Amino acid sequence: MYHLWPPSRVLHLLPPEKAHNAALRLLQFSPFRLRPPALPVRSAGIEVANPVGLAAGFDRHGEVVRGALGLGFGFVEIGGVTPKPQPGNPQPRLFRLAADRAIVNRMGFYSHGAAAVAGRLERYRDRGGRGTVGVNLAKNKASEDAARDYAAVARAVAGLADFVTVNVSSPNTPGLRALQTEGELRRIVERVRKAAPSGTALWVKLCPDLDRAHRMALGQALAAMPVEGVVISNTTVSRPAGLRSPERGEQGGLSGPPLKALATEALRDIRAATDGRIDLIGVGGIGNAEDALERIEAGASLVQFNTALIYGGSLLPYRIARDLARSMEAARRTEPVAPVPAFPSVAPQ
């Protein structure tokens, strides 16, 4: 298989975090500007050339925005970004479950901090970068006011980011997932909405481990808030049956194919709860165009992935976006033509 940078096989000879850092360095200097066939979408408060995005956690510090967009992504989400820099959890904190093509991570928001990331984003924009870029908002581990932290990061990237995502769903920061209640989210959304300029879309990202009643209640509550998109889902702390890799016992959030069924089910529930009143971004275990299409059929208008890039190589974003455009075009062509009404329809008064 042809790859633009050393095949994942080679990178996978390094320990996971070193391999990731090497991939980032290569991507920083990547000359590629791949353009998949256009599949323009306007949804969740953003406008993109194609609906396939890079999920949070890959470009944590905003170092490879141009390189990632050049692989064919329609949009990228950088972060999680905390207000102050913080080192995250002790290493090792990233584990390959190679036999499952999955990852377990317990990074714990390793972040260069809002000022450094905003500086990089500003340089990207100053050099004419017009790609669709979002920032995943996170909180410092020691902070006791999550809403203040999310708002601080949103303020730091004001005018630079097209969307910001309130991340209340990473499993590696104590207490974070407990913010997935109507009351907490209302407070956070209000603070972030005030901090972000009016043109910036606001998304909320949920975890896949809530029970159905909790999901439905949150979906209904979010549909009534000034939020443009709900992202489903983050990693899972569950360990679905059938995992083969010995690293499955590591503590942290699981991503990749074993998350797919759970993330799709969670998306369907949120879709049912919100009933089209809010746009949905599907993420979790997407690794090809069929997965992306399935997620769109389940209610998403945009999709993202992260783990598949680690296993599938750098051509994957282009391929998924291209194959998705082809499938959508084929589906459009075979759609039955609407029957011509027997009588001229009456225009609404």
Angle at 90 between CA 85 and CA 94, to 5 degrees: 100
Q: Which is nearer to ligand FMN, 48 or 310 (CB)?
A: 310
Q: Which is nearer to ligand FMN, 22 or 339 (CB)?
A: 22
- Strand 253-255 versus strand 41-43 pairing type: unpaired
In the complex, what is the shortest distance from the CB of residue 314 to ligand FMN, in angstroms, rounded to a whole number? 15
In the complex, what is the shortest distance from the CB of residue 349 to ligand FMN, in angstroms, rounded to a whole number? 47
Backbone phi, then psi, for 317, in 5-degree steps? -55, -45
Residue 105 and residue 255 in contact, taking contact as beta carbons nearer than 8 Å? yes
Q: Which is nearer to ligand FMN, 8 or 234 (CB)?
A: 234
Q: Which is nearer to ligand FMN, 48 or 56 (CB)?
A: 56
* Active-site hit among 8, 111, 143, 170: 170
In the complex, what is the shortest distance from the CB of residue 270 to ligand FMN, in angstroms, rounded to a whole number? 14
In the complex, what is the shortest distance from the CB of residue 150 to ligand FMN, in angstroms, rounded to a whole number? 12
Backbone phi, then psi, for 323, in 5-degree steps? -65, -35
Q: Does residue 43 sit in helix, strand or coil? A: strand
Distance of CA 333 to the CA centre of its chain: 30
Question: Interface with ligand FMN by CB under 6 A: which residues?
Answer: 55-57, 79-80, 94, 103, 105, 107, 136, 138, 167, 170, 205, 234-235, 255-256, 259, 283-286, 305-308
In the complex, what is the shortest distance from the CB of residue 187 to ligand FMN, in angstroms, rounded to a whole number? 19
Residue 311 CB contacts under 8 Å (≥ 6 apart), including other chains? 8, 101, 256, 287
Which residue number places its CB atom closest to ligand FMN? 57
Instruction: Count the Cβ atoms, other than its own, within 10 Å of residue 25.
Output: 12
The closest of 228, 230, 256, 273 to 312, measured between CA atoms, is 256
Helices (H), the chain: 8-11, 16-28, 65-70, 114-126, 146-156, 182-195, 212-223, 260-274, 289-297, 307-312, 316-334
Residue 72 and residue 318 in contact, taking contact as beta carbons nearer than 8 Å? yes
Q: Which is nearer to ligand FMN, 31 or 45 (CB)?
A: 45
169 is catalytic: no
The closest of 45, 118, 95, 27 to 314, measured between CA atoms, is 27
Q: Which is nearer to ligand FMN, 106 or 330 (CB)?
A: 106
Catalytic residues, by residue number, are: 170
